Amino acid sequence: MDGTAEPANDDWGPFGRPLFDDASARALSRVGVVDVGSNSVRLVVFDGAARSPAYFYNEKIMCALGAGLSDTGRLNPEGRVRALAALQRFQRLAEGMGITPLTAVATAAVREAEDGPDFREEVLLKTGLKLWVIDGEEEARLSAQGVLLGWPGAYGLVCDIGGSSMELAEISDGRVGKRVSSNLGPLKLRDIKGGKKGRKAHITDTLKQLHEKLGPQSNRLFLVGGSWRAIARIDMERQNYPLHVLHEYRMSRRAVNETLDYIARHDLDELRSRCGISSARMSLVPIAGEVLKQLVREFKPRDIAISSYGIREGMLYEQMPQRLRDRDPLIEACRFAEAKDARIPGFGRVLFNFIIPLFKSARPERLRLIKAACLLHDVSWRAHPDYRAEVCFDSVTRSNLGGLKHSERVFLGLALLFRYRSKHDGSWFEDFEGMIDDTAKRDAEVLGKAMRFGAMLWLQADQPMGEMRWFPKKRQLDLVLTPQSAPLFGEVAEARFQSLAASLEAETDVKVRK
C-alpha cells in the first residue's frame, strides 16, 4: 500500500462502493410509515443514507386503542377518536413533506376488535389512508426485520411487546425463521381475572406453549417495544449508567430480575419522573415486567439487547433490495455524513488508506470502526474550534447510528476527540472511561492522532500523499512523503506526527520520495 489517492473507479476494498448515490437507493431516501398499535399510533419518516435509518420525523400519540378490548370486544372509544385525529394530522404532514402515500399497518387491537373494519373505513374516508391489518406472525416478521436492519448478522430471538399482543421470532444468517404471536400484551393482561396470581399463571402457561413451538432459543434475546425500553431506561437509572442510548443497551438475566425488583420497591411516579417515561407508558411497566421475568426464566437467553428498531424499521427493510440489506449500516451512514458535511468529501477513504499500516493486525470489528472514524473525521468542522473535540464525542456517542455496541460508540467518540485535541483530560470522555479497556483507549488515541496528522496532508484527489510504515517490534514509525506532499509537512504537521509517535512509543524517520 503506497498511501496514494486511488482513482474513482477503483475497488473500495472490504467496504464496497457506497450505494446512496444509486437511483434505487435514493428512492428509499425518504419513506413515511405509520404504525397503528394497541397502545400508540406513530408516524416515522426515514431520511438520509438508505441503508441506515435517519429519523427525519418521528411522532407518537398514546391512544390505548386496545384498552378494555378483552371485555367489550371493541376499540376503546376515546382511543379511537384520538387515533383518528392523529392519523388525520399524520396524513396532512405527509402531504406537506411530499411523501404520500404513507405505508400504514394496524396490529392486534384493530385486527381483533369487532369494529376494526368500521374504523379502517372511517380512516380511509376521512384521511385517504389505507390501513393494512397484519396478523401476529407478520407483525413478528416485520419486527424481526427491524432488528436485522440494525444488526445484519444478528442471531437469536426477537420479542416485540405491544399493548395487546407479544410476538416472538427467531433470526439467524440474516433471515427470519419461526415466529409466533400471543396475547401477552399489558393492556390484555390487565383484564385477566385473578389479579397478579391469575396473570402469573396465564403468562407462565402461555410462555411454555410458545417455547414448545419455537424450541430452544438460548442465544441473544432482542427486546422490541416501548414497555421493554422503559424497563431498560430504569435499569440504566438503577446502575447509574452514563450513556442514555437505549439502542444496543445490554442487560444480563440477573440485571433484569434486579431491576424488576427495584421497580416493585419504588414509587412509580417518582421513577417515571426520574427516567423521563410518560405516565401512560409507566402504567404498563409493572405488568410488562411480569411478562419479562417469566420470559427470561423460560428461554434463558445468553444475554439481552434492547432494540429501538422494530416494526417501522422492518417496513423500511421490506422495501430494500437485497444488495442494500447486505451493506454495513454504520459504514453507509458515515459515508452519507461525509458526503453531506465534510469539507472534502472522499478524503476519508484516502485518509483510511494512509493510516491503516498502523493497524495491520486489526480484527474486522475494529477495522470497520477505523473506517467509520476516517469517514467522520471532518464532518464537525463547523463547530467552534474550542468545542470541536467535545462535539465529535457527543455526536457519535448519542447519535442514531446503527450497528454499534455502546463500547464501540465510546471508542469511536474517543478517536474523534483525539482528532481535534491531544489529550482527553477534562473532556466528556471521563464520564464514560469505564466503558472501554486500556487497549481500546490506546488504540483510539493512536487512531485519533493519526487522523489529526493525516488531515494536514490534504491534496487533490489524484495526487499521492505518501505513506506511513510501522514496525511494531522495533517501535519504529517511518514517514515517506511524496514531492507533492513534502511542502505540507510544516511545523504543525511535524508536531502532530511526533505526538502520534509518542503514543506509539516509537522512534521516527522522515524521508521524501524522489
Q: CA 244, CA 363: separation in Å to the nearest integer?
A: 28
* pLDDT(3) > 70: no
* pLDDT(325) > 90: no
pLDDT tens digits for range 331-366: 988 998 999 899 999 999 999 999 999 999 999 999
What's the average model confidence in pLDDT over 317-321?
A: 84
pTM comes to 0.88
Q: CA 247, CA 232: separation in Å to the nearest integer?
A: 10
Q: CA 443, CA 87: separation in Å to the nearest integer?
A: 49
What's the average model confidence in pLDDT over 479-484?
A: 93
Amino acid at 138: E
Q: What is the pLDDT of residue 357?
A: 97
Q: What is the pLDDT of residue 514?
A: 79
Which domains are present in the chain?
A: 23-133 (3.30.420.40), 137-312 (3.30.420.150), 327-512 (1.10.3210.10)
Q: CA 326, CA 171: separation in Å to the nearest integer?
A: 15
- Eight-state DSSP code of residue 232: H
Report the 10 Å Cβ neighbour count for 14: 11
Q: CA 460, CA 476: separation in Å to the nearest integer?
A: 29
Q: What is the pLDDT of residue 208?
A: 97
Q: What is the pLDDT of residue 356?
A: 96
Q: What is the DSSP string of 273-309?
A: HHHT--HHHHTTHHHHHHHHHHHHHHH--S-EEEES-
Q: CA 188, CA 112: separation in Å to the nearest integer?
A: 12
* pLDDT(25) > 60: no
- Eight-state DSSP code of residue 7: P
Which is it for the CA torsion 247, 245, 39, 33, positive or negative?
A: negative
Q: What is the pLDDT of residue 334?
A: 92
* pLDDT(120) > 70: yes
Q: What is the pLDDT of residue 55?
A: 87
Q: How far is CA 397 from CA 222, 242, 402, 432, in A?
A: 21, 11, 11, 10
Candidates 227, 182, 189; CA nearest to 69 is 189
Indicate the helix (H) or strand (E) that contains 180.
Answer: strand 175-182
Between residues 54 and 441, the one the model is more confident about: 441
Q: What is the pLDDT of residue 424?
A: 82
Report the 10 Å Cβ neighbour count for 309: 24
Q: How far is CA 182 from CA 159, 208, 251, in A?
A: 11, 12, 24
For 468, the grid coordinates are 506511513
Q: What is the pLDDT of residue 50?
A: 63
> What confidence category does residue 47 fall into, taking pLDDT thresholds of 50, 70 and 90?
confident
> What confidence category does residue 22 fall into, taking pLDDT thresholds of 50, 70 and 90?
low
Q: What is the pLDDT of residue 410?
A: 96
* pLDDT(52) > 90: no
What's the average model confidence in pLDDT over 458-482?
A: 90
Q: CA 152, CA 373: separation in Å to the nearest integer?
A: 20
Among 15-24, 418-427, 456-465, 484-493, the range with the most confident prediction by mean pLDDT is 484-493
Q: Which residues contact 21 (CB under 8 A, 6 or more apart)?
A: none
Residue with cell 395487546: 164
Candidates 438, 504, 446; CA nearest to 474 is 504
For 80, the grid coordinates are 379511537
Q: What is the pLDDT of residue 177?
A: 95
Q: Report the range of poorest mean pLDDT among 17-21, 187-191, 220-224.
A: 17-21
Beta bridge partners of 181: 167
Q: How far is CA 363 from CA 150, 154, 359, 369, in A?
A: 20, 18, 9, 10
Cα angle 137, 54, 240; round to 5: 85
> What confidence category does residue 14 fall into, taking pLDDT thresholds of 50, 70 and 90?
very low
